[in-house]
Amino acid sequence: MWQRIKNGLEVRIGLEDLINTKLKNYTVPRNTNIFYTLGGVALVAFIIQAISGFFLLIYYVPHSEHAFRSVQYIMTVAPFGWLFRLMHVVGSNLLVAVIFLHMLSVFFMGSYKKPRELTWIVGWLMLLVTLTFCLSGYLLPWSQLSYWTTTVVTAMPTAFPYVGDYIANLLRGGEFVSGITLNRFFALHVAFLPPLLVGLMVIHVFLIRRIGLSSPPFDESAEEARPWTEYRHVSYPNGNSFYPYFVLKELYMVALYLVVMFFVITFLPTLFLPEASNIPANPLRTPAYIKPQWYFLAPYQMLKLIPNKFLGISMQIALIGTFLLWPFFDTKKERNILKRPLLLATFTASLLLWVVLTMWGRSS
């Protein structure tokens, strides 16, 4: 049966030639480490989000009167609804963690340098879109947590003179978070952001294939060391084939991702669903304290520490801009961060600061 399908495809699309030229003859460096698999894991994690989100959409009602109850229905009555909801909630947190790790490893290995600046920028845009996914998705269950977190976040633009109020009102569809905000965030979450992220992913993967994967900088190949004066595809004649070698490596890491996801779903199901997420939204009752998700805690804590809101938000925008355009600031050819003590020290200090701010934000 399988052989007949293969023969049928061979006659029609030249399957073997396709596999040979696109997968087997496409080579990756011999010494790729496990960090090279994180991009692929993020890709699979996103697909899991899309599939589980599709099943949630069957029962979810995007209306302020029904949203909370529809989510309760998914958790308690709809067949396997609890599983898809937990996959979606846990998956969103793990996806952000995987993207962070992918970005850190790309930074650590200097893979953002010429000729891969565009790959880095598109990656950053994907990170920002993913965070917008998380923010918009947070409001959808219409719980106390959803409502008040969105109230805090949508008030942020008001720190800016002239345009601030306009932006905040545009996001909320009025002066307060309401059913209109829910509809806007729902439309963003299911209709605008998915094609945007898919489009960015296509460009990201195209750039990676077109340029070729970078080799680890710790024992850089001669090909990578050659000056980049005109376009060429970076290939590794002595490297490993993408398929099956690299694909198998990716699959091991995807399996590990699934193990972590199902471990959390089974043993720590409420890890990302605190008490306030089980109480329906009440615009008249502000909860005692409200905290954003773990990945927003560091910027949130930073804003709390800087008394001037305008200054705090402007600093964060400047930080994002600097990181986004980092490959154009750091044009030194040396990719091995271990040979650049100042950059290594700044990288480690920034990472530590992020961890400290996150823990501080959690406990304060």
Q: Which residues bind ligand HEM (CB under 6 A)?
A: 36, 38-40, 42-43, 46, 99, 102-103, 106, 111-112, 116, 119-120, 123-124, 126-127, 130, 201, 204-205, 208, 213-214
Nearest residue (CB) to ligand HEM, 46 versus 147: 46
Q: Which residues contact 361 (CB under 8 A, 6 or more apart)?
A: 291, 297, 298, 300, 301, 304
Which of 136, 102, 133, 121 has the alpha carbon at shortest distance from 200? 121
Nearest residue (CB) to ligand HEM, 66 versus 332: 332
Q: Which residues contact 283 (CB under 8 A, 6 or more apart)?
A: 147, 176, 177, 178
User: What CA–CA distance (Å, rounded) separates 345 from 348?
Assistant: 5
Which of 243, 246, 226 has the alpha carbon at shortest distance from 234? 226
Nearest residue (CB) to ligand HEM, 69 versus 333: 333
User: What CA–CA distance (Å, rounded) separates 69 from 277?
Assistant: 12
Beta-bridge partners for 28:
240
Nearest residue (CB) to ligand HEM, 158 versus 241: 241
Nearest approach, Cβ of residue 247 and ligand HEM (Å): 11
Nearest residue (CB) to ligand HEM, 49 versus 358: 49
Nearest residue (CB) to ligand HEM, 91 versus 123: 123
Question: What crossing angle do the helices spanning 309-324 and 117-139 adopt, rounded to 10°?
Answer: 140
Nearest approach, Cβ of residue 326 and ligand HEM (Å): 8
